[in-house]
């Protein structure tokens, strides 16, 4: 299992929970006042209470309020009967769906070996695993330089007590992880990859070498066929038929390779060159682990989403517009380079700016614009404002194009148009200074304003006049900048992207997962003449 690398034993589960609850409020009856609860009067409850307190000192300090509240709600009685422990076993058996290993979280033999402490230790393990399902095993701020999303938060002590009391323990654990289609489809993909590994060992290794051109013969073709069959780019029947062609890279196989290239965000040309070979060199184990990392990222996020939202996958450089909680529009986008990463943000947006000027960030002005001298500024329709900052006037060649989508409190990160349209045709679209450039941005702005014809008319009039004007959308729309290197595409297949921002590598290290995917090759950097955000 993927998480076996981490060896998340009972102690590790407790540690994960401890770090996650450090910010939780201690047991108090009034804000800022810690009160020692009165011991119960019932003799049996008092005996358990005394035993609990003697054991609690050996638990991490951050865990103590959570555990105390759980057992206080339970009336200072043991929680874990034999039927409930069997249910925990069923919970552990289902953990593979989440890219986790239940055996690592629930060491039943170890718990049973010390009956005097078994109940509280089982509670620690149960709360720890619940925390992983509900909120993730790793704090996102520790593995990303800037992460400002709305986190999922669950009252685990109250939830666990209620689930035990109502005999709904399995249902409660099942509901902790995300239940949206993005998570459940990716979870199903993970299970398929794990089954493939168990049953066949994955797929044959694909050796990197010279480019394989359509129509050529190459000794690597049998391994290629097996790989495409394993991941569903070819059916088993097609694979058997194409095997009759031996080592020839024929038209039918080329079509399947094109599907593979599309699924991996590569240039779809049918040629098996360096980029395609890098993706082919990944093992089934690595792909399963990559899926597990993206399941973890999804567990960080709050479950309730705005039915109207814009989601940008910065790993894939794709934007999807959701309305009434359904995807209704998608565009390609250009996002930040590896050195100027687009951060993970969730911010509201409520206006578009027609013909926006660009207030150049100080770092770009200092490093890329001012050294070129006054003639360059004049050629780019730029000037130095009285405050000393560089401003580019609005115009057809301005860096922000014809429209800017303003995000509130977004660290100067926003969505915008661009005069550099050719970049949208590239498979590798990590080229900006961190902002998100939107393909067909003017049409997208019109789509957002379409519900109110007067606002749409106001926007079109401003565009035609070439004057700068802000147009309110009349509603707040949530914008989410996400980093998914594994997700399920429209055909139900798991799609993968290279880890351009090195975030998979950092998350894998934090989880103790060994990841040996080939390092991405930055195929493009910002053009020297393209200084836009």
In the block, which residue shows the tokens 């689930």? 163
> Going by C-beta distance under 8 Å and a sequence separation of 6 or more, which residues neighbour residue 469?
353, 354, 355, 458, 459, 462
Would you say 281 and 205 are in contact if contact means Cβ atoms under 8 Å apart? Answer: yes
Q: What backbone phi and psi angles, to 5 degrees, belong to 404?
A: -125, 135
433: annotated active-site residue: no
E strand spans, 141-243: 147-148
Joined together, the tokens standing for residue 70 give 């759980």
Would you say 450 and 410 are in contact if contact means Cβ atoms under 8 Å apart? Answer: no
Residue 85: half-sphere exposure toward Cβ, Cα within 13 Å: 16
Would you say 40 and 77 are in contact if contact means Cβ atoms under 8 Å apart? Answer: no
| Helix, strand, or coil (residue 472) | strand
- Cα torsion 140, 142, 143, 148: sign: positive
Would you say 337 and 432 are in contact if contact means Cβ atoms under 8 Å apart? Answer: yes
Catalytic residue among 161, 264, 433, 435: 435
Would you say 301 and 149 are in contact if contact means Cβ atoms under 8 Å apart? Answer: yes
Spatial distance between the Cα atoms of 390 and 449, rounded to a whole number of angstroms: 31
DSSP secondary structure code for residue 481 in this structure? E
Beta-carbon count within 10 A of 316 CB: 24
Catalytic residue among 416, 430, 433, 514: 416
Joined together, the tokens standing for residue 445 give 């702005």
Spatial distance between the Cα atoms of 516 and 499, rounded to a whole number of angstroms: 12
User: SS3 sequence, 365-381?
Assistant: HHHHHHHHCHHHHHHCC
Joined together, the tokens standing for residue 483 give 């980093």
Would you say 123 and 130 are in contact if contact means Cβ atoms under 8 Å apart? Answer: no
Catalytic residue IDs: 416, 435
């Amino acid at each position: 299992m993927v998480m076996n690398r981490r060896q998340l034993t009972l102690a590790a589960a407790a540690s994960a929970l401890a770090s996650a609850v450090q910010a939780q409020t201690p047991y108090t009856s009034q804000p800022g006042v810690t009160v020692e609860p009165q011991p119960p009067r019932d003799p049996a409850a008092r005996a358990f209470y005394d035993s609990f307190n003697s054991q609690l000192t050996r638990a991490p300090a951050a865990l103590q309020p959570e555990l105390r509240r759980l057992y206080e709600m339970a009336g200072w009685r043991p929680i874990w009967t034999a039927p409930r422990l069997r249910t925990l076993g069923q919970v552990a058996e289902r953990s593979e769906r989440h890219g986790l290993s239940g055996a690592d979280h629930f060491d039943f033999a170890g718990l049973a070996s010390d009956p005097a402490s078994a109940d509280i230790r089982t509670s620690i393990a149960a709360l720890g695993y619940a925390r992983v399902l509900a909120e993730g095993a790793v704090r996102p701020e520790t593995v990303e330089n800037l992460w400002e999303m709305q986190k999922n938060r669950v009252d685990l002590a109250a939830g666990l007590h209620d689930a035990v009391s109502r005999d709904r323990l399995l249902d409660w654990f099942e509901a902790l992880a995300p239940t949206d289609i993005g998570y459940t489809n990716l979870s199903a993909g993970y299970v398929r990859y794990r089954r493939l590994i168990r049953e066949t060992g994955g797929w044959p290794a694909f050796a990197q070498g010279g480019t394989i051109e359509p129509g050529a013969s190459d000794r690597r073709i049998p391994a290629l066929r097996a790989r495409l069959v394993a991941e569903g780019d070819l059916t088993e029947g097609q694979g058997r038929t194409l095997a009759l062609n031996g080592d020839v890279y024929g038209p039918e196989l080329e079509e399947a390779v094109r599907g593979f290239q599309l699924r991996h965000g590569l240039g779809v040309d049918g040629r098996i060159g360096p980029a395609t070979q890098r993706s082919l060199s990944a093992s089934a184990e690595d792909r399963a682990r990559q899926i597990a990392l993206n399941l973890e990222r999804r567990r960080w996020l709050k479950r309730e989403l705005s039915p109207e939202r814009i989601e940008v996958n910065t790993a894939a450089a794709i934007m999807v517009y959701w309305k009434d909680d359904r995807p209704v529009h998608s565009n390609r986008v250009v996002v930040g380079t590896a050195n100027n990463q687009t951060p993970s943000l969730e911010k509201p947006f409520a206006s578009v700016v027609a013909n926006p000027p660009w207030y150049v960030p100080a770092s770009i002005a200092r490093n890329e614009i001012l050294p070129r001298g006054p003639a360059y500024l004049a050629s780019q329709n730029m000037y130095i404002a009285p405050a000393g900052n560089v401003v580019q006037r609005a115009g057809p060649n301005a860096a922000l194009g014809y429209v800017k989508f303003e995000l509130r409190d977004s660290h100067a990160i926003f969505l915008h148009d661009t005069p550099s349209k050719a970049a949208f045709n590239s498979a590798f679209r990590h080229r900006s200074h961190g902002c998100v450039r939107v393909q067909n941005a003017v049409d997208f702005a019109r789509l957002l304003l379409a519900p109110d014809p007067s606002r749409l008319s106001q926007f079109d009039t401003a565009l035609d006049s070439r004057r700068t004007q802000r147009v309110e959308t009349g509603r707040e729309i949530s914008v989410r900048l996400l980093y998914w290197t594994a997700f399920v595409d429209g055909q139900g297949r798991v799609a993968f992207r290279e880890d351009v921002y090195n975030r998979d590598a950092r998350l894998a290290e934090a989880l103790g997962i060994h990841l040996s995917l080939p390092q991405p090759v930055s195929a493009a950097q910002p053009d020297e003449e393209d200084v836009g955000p």
